[in-house]
């Protein structure tokens, strides 16, 4: 019954919030009039209210109403009764910290298992993997665990960025970082470029958008896969 869109980013360059994927979302959320928004990742430290307002404005264009989880007295019940769920981007550590703090990990897992449509962007996609160990974010708070929601049997690296061959900067490239991940962990990692997403329906996982994704498997050279590729063999 799983039904997810796991998107690299909410926003692509030169386009409004969720604009590039809005038509897709109209189809994805066709059976939901209202969407429960989880604003915990707070990009740039924005308030839960202000973040929810931005999301509500975007979804109004496809005639969906949005309510923030912070507006409910009981966040567990809010998820249990949600027609659909959207977890937005921001800081993955802050997001994970608040999901654990509010005891929502299992609640989210049960809701998604039961078929509640789930949209994630950026940090909200990171947490769909096995762990948050391939986030790009700064660890500004200490979560009780790096284990995530495990909606897919691998890890996600959103905002995947190819090495800049002109750079004189000596910090690690994204590819180097993911290779380091594989010195200590075995699950595959999907590098999702901005504008790409994974469409998950039960056991089917398909790359969507116009760009290739980069796949990092343990003890294998990284490789590219094209849009419409089935990724359900990865684990």
CB of 145 to a copy of itself, least distance (A): 7
**Options 37-45, 55-63, 78-86, 205-213: segment touching a copy of itself (CB under 8 A):** 37-45
Concerning whether 159 is annotated as a catalytic residue, the answer is: yes
Concerning whether 182 is annotated as a catalytic residue, the answer is: no
The residue among 140 and 226 lying less far from a copy of itself, judged by its C-beta, is: 140
CB of 31 to a copy of itself, least distance (A): 30
Residue 188 phi, psi (nearest 5): -65, 155
Q: Give CA separation, 156 vs 121, 123, 166, 174, in Å.
A: 11, 10, 26, 13
The residue within the footprint of a copy of itself, chosen from 2, 64, 159, 208 (CB under 8 A), is: 159
Token pair in block for residue 136: 């790009």
Establish if 103 lies at the interface with a copy of itself (CB under 8 A): no
Establish if 176 lies at the interface with a copy of itself (CB under 8 A): yes
Establish if 194 lies at the interface with a copy of itself (CB under 8 A): yes
Q: Which of 10, 122, 125, 196 is catalytic?
A: 122
Q: Give CA separation, 3 vs 50, 80, 215, in Å.
A: 28, 16, 22
Establish if 85 lies at the interface with a copy of itself (CB under 8 A): no
The residue among 64 and 98 lying less far from a copy of itself, judged by its C-beta, is: 98
Concerning whether 137 is annotated as a catalytic residue, the answer is: yes
Report the SS3 class of residue 100. helix
Sign (positive or negative) of CA dihedral 132, 43, 28, 102: positive
Taking the C-alpha atoms of residue 111 and residue 115, their distance in angstroms, rounded to an integer, is 7
Sequential DSSP letters for 35-82: EEEE-TT-GGG--HHHHHHHHHHHHHTTT-EEEEGGGSS-HHHHHHT-
Please give the residue ranges that form the binding site for a copy of itself (CB under 8 A). 9, 11-14, 42-45, 90-91, 93-94, 132-142, 145-146, 159, 161, 168-172, 176-185, 194
Q: Catalytic residue positions?
A: 122, 137, 159
């Amino acid at each position: 019954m799983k039904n997810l869109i796991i998107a690299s980013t909410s926003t692509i360059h030169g386009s409004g919030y969720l604009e590039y994927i809005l038509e897709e979302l109209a189809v994805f959320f066709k059976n939901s009039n209202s969407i429960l928004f989880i604003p915990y990742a707070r990009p740039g430290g924005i308030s839960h209210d202000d973040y929810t307002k931005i999301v509500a404005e975007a979804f109004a264009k496809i005639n969906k109403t949005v309510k923030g989880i912070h507006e409910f007295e009981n966040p567990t019940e809010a998820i249990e009764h949600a027609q659909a769920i959207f977890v937005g981007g921001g800081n993955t550590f802050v997001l994970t910290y608040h999901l654990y703090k509010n005891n929502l990990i299992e609640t989210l897992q049960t809701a998604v298992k039961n078929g509640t449509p789930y949209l994630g962007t950026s940090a909200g996609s990171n947490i769909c993997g096995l762990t948050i160990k391939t986030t790009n974010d700064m660890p500004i708070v200490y979560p009780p665990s790096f284990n995530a929601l495990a909606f897919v049997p691998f890890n996600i690296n959103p905002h995947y960025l190819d090495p800049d061959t002109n750079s004189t900067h000596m910090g690690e490239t994204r590819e180097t970082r993911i290779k380091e991940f594989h010195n200590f962990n075995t699950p595959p990692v999907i590098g999702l470029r901005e504008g790409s997403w994974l469409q998950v329906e039960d056991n089917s996982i398909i790359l969507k958008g116009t760009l290739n994704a980069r796949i990092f498997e343990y003890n294998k050279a990284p490789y590219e896969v094209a849009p419409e590729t089935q990724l359900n063999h990865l684990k």
